[in-house]
Each structure stands twice: as C-alpha cells, then as structure tokens.
Amino acid sequence: MVYREQEKEKRKNDTAELEKKLKFRGRLAWDLLNDKEKEEAFRFAEGYKSFLDRAKTEREAAREIAQAAREAGFQEDCLPGAGKKFSFVNKDKSIALAVLGQAPLAGGIRIIVSHIDSPRIDLKQNPLYEDADMALLRTHYYGGIKKYQWVTIPLSLHGLIVKSDGSILNVVIGEDPQDPVFVINDLLPHLSGKTQDQKKLAEAIEGEKLTAIAGSLPFTDAEAKERIKLGIMELLHQKYGLIEEDFISAEIELVPAMKARDVGFDRSLIGSYGQDDRASVYTSLQAILSLEEPPRTVVALFVDKEEIGSDGNTGAKSLFLESALRALIERAGLPVTEALLKQILSNSKALSADVEAALDPNYPEVHEKQNAGKLGYGVCLEKFTGARGKAAASDARAEYVGEIRRIFNAHNVAWQMTEIGKVDEGGGGTVAKYLAIYGMDIIDCGVPVLSMHSPFEVTSKADIFEAYKAYRAFVSTP
Ligand code: MN
Ligand code: MN
C-alpha cells in the first residue's frame, strides 16, 4: 500500500517536470518581476504618462524626442567613433536617432522603427461655418477610427498655422485646465431611433457630421451676416492675427483633451489617448537613450503617417531612412557610396515596434485565444500581420524569430508570440514591409493594447516595462 502511494507520487512529480520542460505557456510579466523591478516598472510608467501628455501629435512627439536626444548628447553633426550620438530630423515630423557602434557599419546595424502619428480628427482646410446660431468646424478624421467614440468627449486643438506673410503660429487650446475645449455633439437618444439606432454601427455617425462646436457669441452689429462666425473670426484676428484664408495653410488636429491616467484599484494599467504607437515610441526612445557604446550601430526611427498608409514625405514609404543612413555613413567618416548603403541595409536587423491587439474579455470571439496577445504577458512578437491569409504581411523568417527569441530569453524579457485576431476576422498592417524591401530582417514587436484607436486606449504597466527591456536587449546585442 505504502509502495503504491509512493509510486503514484513519483509519477505525478515526473509528469509535472515533463510538462514544465516541454509545454510552452506564457507567464504573467508581474510574476517574473521581483519587488524592486515592480517598483521600477511603476516608476517607468510615470515617465511614460508624462510623455503621452506632452506628445499628443506627431509634431509634438518629434519635438519631445529631439529635445530628449539633445539633452542626452545627440547632435546633427557628430564626429566618428563608437558611442557618438547622431540625430536627423525630417520636416519636424519624422526623426532618426543613432548611436555609433563598435562593429563596422557594413556588417549591418540594429534598427527599431515606431510611428509617432495616432488616429485623430483633423480640421478641413476651409473649416469654419455657422449653423443654428453656432460656429462649427468641419473635420476630416485621420486614420481608422470608430466615429461614435469621438463624439461628446472634450477635445483639445493642436495646430500649426502658416499665415499669409509666411510666419508660423503654433496653438494648443484645451490642454490647460483653464482652457476651453471643443466637442462634437451627438443626437439625444429620444430622437435617434430612426436616424441612428436602426443603422449599422459604422454608418450611424457620418464623417461629415463630425463637426466640432467652436462658439456661439454673436458679432456686436446685429445687422451683420453670419454674426456668430464673424464673432469667432474677429476673436481669432484679435488674439492671433488670423484671417479665414490662413486655415488653408494650417494643420489643425483635434485630440482627446484627457490626460493619461492610472486605471484600476491597483493602478497596474494605463489609460490614455495615443498609446498606438507612443507606447513603442517612448520605450524605444528610452532604450536608445540608455546606450553608451553598443556593439553594433543602433538607429531608432520615428516615422509619421503610419495610420493612413505610410505614404507622404514623412512616412515609412519615403526614403528618409536612406537619407539618414547616408548622413550617418558620412558622420562615421566613411565615403558615402550606394554599394555601402545597400550593404548596411541588407545586413541590418530590425524591430517594427508597434502595438498589438490585446485579448478583449468582452469579445473573445474575435480572437483565437492560444495565439492572442494578452495584457500583462509582456511584449508581443508578431511573425506576420496582414489580413485574411496573411495578405500584405512582411512575415519574418523562422531563423530571425529564433534569434529574437534567444535575445529576449537571455535578458529575461517577458514576451508572447501573437497574432491580431482569428484568421478570417480582419487584420492590420505595420511599417515592417517597407523596411523589409531592403533585405533586412524585421519582425513586429510591441505591447498589447485594449480599445486600440479609441480616445482612451489601455495598456499594462508591466508590458510597457517589458517592451523597454526588450528593445534595450535588442539594441545591446552584437
Ligand atoms: Mn500602430
Ligand atoms: Mn494604429
């Protein structure tokens, strides 16, 4: 009897050991962190939240990155030598930071690319009009938004306006608690039955109805036409010297006026606008700022326009990376030749740092649980993105996935291998494929996000910290 009990116990232990050895299962990042590291993760989140509040637009993000880089000794004109830090700004909307490494450039460099634009509501070029005795602003939204999420929330206005004399006016209204805000109104439920409620969610609110309320005080002369609009124009002229035509050469963006906040009783999560993709921007920025003399040259690339397809002269499809690398070759004291440029690019290794969908507890049906990104399980690797049959995916090769896995494991990074949703459910793309054309290895890698593209996206502080650890491990590896 005793013998049989012992035998049973031994078999149980053997099975447990075998399961531990053979089975792959993700682990909560929190379980891998000791008390000191948990504290560090919470502290890291404070810096991240403050960055989110200061960098709500692509221009503000580029400015914040450039400033942090300047303070860390990055220069546009650096000298050759390992540890030298180089920055390269493109039209105030995309930026490359580089730290020269010990190994020759020709062997390839390590690149982390992330995007600094986020979905938002842009003003049209001729936006101001008057209706129902209110001044309103016409808009054209930017990126993939669910329109119903953007009505009846306080919006702040961030803009750059080029006036008729060529001078530039920067305005931010709605971020200071004393500032007024803007809002897109919505129909009351009492009257929305036919107009909205019976329609499909995506059609219930039309793009042209996303107009923001801009005022209601009439111009003093009761005989004037469109008195409310004129009143607003007079105010804008007195305060900023603006005329209506100035809107034509302006980029004015409406973004949620809310600040980044802790979410949950235990403060383990972060809620904020713009975490796609500033979660990757901030963590990769901190990773490159922490470098002294990396084994290989490291480039952190921050690009614009990802949310609308990466086109344009500040997007990932532009030749900005090539221009930055030509400048880098020159700073490294080497002759700039196309052959060397191509050699560097094709020998390089890259992470496309972009966020991933987190498994939504309310909608598990869109995910395939075994391969879904889970909040709190660390940084997500995505071998491929794309939609329905991996269409338009970069699809990293297994050899490279193996290399990244080894790097992360060697540095105790909590990571998970994920794909965005069920095979036939939908999908998305990132900038990975635009860098893959050079021949470099590249894989998507970023934190899981709940409510992605909404005005208040949610991430885990553990995942943010693990992303930083992952990017730092990647750029510190020979
Ligand atoms: Mn993104
Ligand atoms: Mn996105």
Domain layout of the chain by residue ranges: 29-118+273-475, 120-256
Ligand closest to 278 (CA) is 1
CA of 239 to the centre of ligand 2 (A): 36
How far is ligand 1, taken at its centre, from the CA of residue 461, in Å? 18
For residue 323, the CA-to-ligand 2 centroid distance in Å is: 25
Report yes or no: 446 and 275 within 8 Å, Cβ to Cβ.
Answer: no
Does residue 1 register a pLDDT over 80?
no
Report how far ligand 1's centroid is from the alpha carbon of 129 (Å).
33
Residue 12's Cβ-count burial label (10 Å; 0-12, 13-18, 19+) is: exposed
Ligand nearest to the CA of 355: 1
- At 401, the amino acid letter reads V
Asked, colleague to colleague, whether 29-118+273-475 and 120-256 share their fold, the answer is no
Spatial distance between the Cα atoms of 80 and 333, rounded to a whole number of angstroms: 6
Of the candidate CATH numbers 3.30.300.180, 3.50.50.60, 3.40.50.150, 2.30.250.10, the domain formed by 120-256 belongs to: 2.30.250.10
CA of 184 to the centre of ligand 2 (A): 22
Residue 307 Cα to ligand 1 midpoint, Å, equals 7
Ligand 1: distance of its center to the CA of 274 in Å?
A: 9
- Note the pLDDT tens digit of each residue in 434-465: 999 999 999 999 999 999 999 999 999 999 99
Are 315 and 113 a contacting pair, CB within 8 Å? no
Q: How far is the CA of 472 from the centre of ligand 1 (A)?
A: 20
Give the N- to C-terminal CA distance of the chain in Å, as an integer: 59
Q: Looking at the predicted structure, is the pLDDT value of residue 407 above 90?
A: yes
Taking the centre of ligand 2 as the mean of its atom positions, its distance from the CA of residue 117, in whole angstroms, is: 9
In angstroms, what is the span from residue 351 Cα to ligand 1's centroid? 13
Closest ligand relative to 120 C-alpha: 2
As a whole number of angstroms, the distance between CA 97 and CA 124 comes to: 33
At residue 2 the predicted structure's pLDDT band, cuts being 50, 70 and 90, is: low
Ligand 1 centroid to 12 CA: how many Å? 46
The ligand whose atoms approach the alpha carbon of 114 most closely is: 1
Which residue shows structure tokens 């801009």? 214
The predicted model scores a pTM of 0.97
Question: What is the per-residue pLDDT across 353-402, written as a single tens digit (0 to 9) for each?
Answer: 999 999 999 999 999 999 999 999 999 999 999 888 899 999 999 999 99
pLDDT tens-digit profile of 317-349?
A: 999 999 999 999 999 999 999 999 999 999 999
Going from the Cα of 223 to the center of ligand 2, the distance in angstroms, rounded, reads 48
Q: Which residue has the tokens 């930083």?
A: 468
Q: What is the C-alpha to C-alpha distance for residues 195 and 141, in angstroms, rounded to an integer? A: 21
CA 113 / ligand 2 centre spacing (Å): 14
Distance CA 225, CA 277 (A): 45
| Ligand 1 mean position, distance from CA 306 (Å) | 7
- Residues with CB under 5 Å of ion ligand 2 are 276
- Compute the C-alpha angle 122/322/88, nearest 5°: 65
What's the pLDDT score for residue 231? 98
CATH 3.40.630.10 fits 29-118+273-475, yes or no: yes
Interval between CA 382 and ligand 1 midpoint (Å):
13
Q: Is the pLDDT of residue 288 over 80?
A: yes
